[in-house]
Amino acid sequence: MTTRTFERRIRLGMVGGGQGGFIGGVHRFAARLDDRYELVAGALSSNSERAAASARDLGIKEDRTYTDFADMAAREAARPDGIEAVAIVTPNHLHFGPAKAFLEAGIHVICDKPVTTTLAQAKELAEIIEKSGKLFVLTHNYTGYPMIRQMREMIAAGEIGKLRHIQAEYAQDWLTEAVETRGAKGAEWRTDPARSGAGGAIGDIGTHAFNLAAFVTGEVPDRLYADLTSFVPGRTLDDSANILLRYKSGAKGMLWASQIAVGNENALSLRVYGDKGGLEWHHEAINQLWFTPYGEPKRLITRNGAGAGHAANRVSRIPSGHPEGYLEGFANIYSEAAEAILAAREGRTPSPDVVYPGITDGIAGLAFIEAAVQSSKNSSWMQLDC
């Protein structure tokens, strides 16, 4: 990872992510890994006691500890040393309100995915972003992996030729039983349509697979045919999804997302085939990418190793053979965001190498969810409205 010396760190706030939350801690690690942010304010919980205790744990001063995001946005915007960016790490249904408040207060937003719970809200947020002139970064963290950047670079360079087939999979098993009825906090909101949105497995992990396929290929399908299932009795949202994808270019794809696939912990995979070759990547071998030119032996490309190109090397921190993983991928998104925020601060255009997911990706993800839900209900092909 190329580093720069900054006059000072970017002042960061956080909404959500209080004591007991997993993803808030991940965002904080990611923001600090490359020493580009300093967490100085937070509305870490709507419960005043929990908010205060969480802030004390993180060294946030009492006068910058909030229980209401709107109050935080207004007060931070009025401070000469107010936050420059905010990380929103709440459950899905609490993304839109904070994002709107901070953008309208003139503060850049880094938001956990999905962007909102409905496509209509995502499109409304796009208009708010446009009017604000501020940055909106969506933490589809898997796009930060070096070998995913390598894959994207090779496909753009035509190394596998004209795209023919895209196969994305994301399989887990942690929802095999109804753990949401037993006090599992993460499962409770992910299986609740009021808090998660219309998609279960497709919203939680299917959107990651969908986004990753779009990121590396540069293509979003224009229609799909979905079969969504809730295998666990009493569960409202899908816990498994099988989806066919069709692209305007003529390429075809398949996406499988399941949170009840026993034996799979976090099995995210992507395979892309063209008329000149194929590429294959698996999350559980995160620093490896297999490349097979047609008629030639399969080749292994490794992070910071032989065959790795500029796009991969610029987001790698340590020598080959030393594992980089989930936190580093997240940190790459934060560092790309930092470059863009610093460019905005300095009135310049960021390097074209700087790449991060944004509102367009968020809208495509919600269009994917809504089309899949409707397709499964109607047993028919559906267009994506993005």
In order of their start, the domains of the chain are 10-138 (3.40.50.720), 145-318+362-383 (3.30.360.10)
Amino acid 312: pLDDT: 95
Cα 289 off chain centre by: 21
Amino acid 7: pLDDT: 53
Whether the pLDDT of residue 5 is over 70: the answer is no
User: Sorting pLDDT into bands at 50, 70 and 90, what band is 6?
Assistant: very low
Maximal CA-CA distance, the chain: 65
Amino acid 360: pLDDT: 97
At 96 the three-state DSSP class reads helix
Picking from 133, 82, 145, the residue whose alpha carbon sits closest to that of residue 103 is 133
Strands 223-229 and 382-383: antiparallel
Query: What is the DSSP-derived secondary structure letter of residue 202?
Result: I
Q: What is the pLDDT of residues 349-363, one digit of tens each?
A: 999 999 999 999 999
Which pair of structure tokens corresponds to residue 100? 């709107």
List Cα–Cα distances, 220 to 115, 251, 252, in angstroms: 17, 10, 11
Contact partners, residue 60, CB within 8 Å, separation at least 6: 39, 40, 41, 42
The predicted model scores a pTM of 0.93
